[in-house]
Structures are given as structure tokens and as C-alpha cells.
Amino acid sequence: MKKELISAIKQKELQLAKLKAHIEKSDVCADIYNKLLIEKAVLKKQLDDLQNNTLSNRIKHLIPRREKLICDYFGR
């Protein structure tokens, strides 16, 4: 799973590098570039989640935090 995600990220980076020269010339290329950028970000987030999926991190999410964050004062 981890190797597949890394491979997919590298493939997206290669595609982005090829499209970068054409984004100013064509709106279609710019749209595809933006779509690939979002897909790459999603893959990186999945990889980060996979790497941070340890027992200690799971427990941290179960324990309520003591300090208040600014988002606690506003409705989520």
C-alpha cells in the first residue's frame, strides 16, 4: 500500500512537470494541472495518514484536549 502511494505520487509529479510548461498557453492544460495537483495532495495525505496510524496516535485522538483552540469558540 505504501509503495503504491509513493509510486502514484511520483507519477503525478512527473505529469505535473510535463504540464507546467503548457499551463499558461492553454486553459485545458491549466485545468488538468490543477486537477493533478489536487490528486497529488490527496495521495500525500493518504500516505501521511498511513504512516501516522500508530497506536499512540489513535489514543491521542481519544483523549480530550485541555487547552482551548480558537475554533472551539466558533461553531464548526
Check residue 63 and give its pLDDT: 72
User: For the stretch 10-28, what's the b/e string if a residue is b when 16 or more beta carbons lie within 10 angstroms of its beta carbon?
Assistant: eebeebbeebeeebeeeee
* Count of residues making up the chain: 76
* More confident position, 72 or 24: 24
Ranges of each domain in the chain? 2-73
End-to-end CA distance of the chain: 33
pLDDT digits (tens, 9 = 90+) for 29-67: 999 999 999 999 999 988 888 887 776 666 666 776 667
Q: CA 61, CA 26: separation in Å to the nearest integer?
A: 45
pLDDT at 61: 64
C-alpha to C-alpha distance for 15 and 26, rounded to whole angstroms: 16
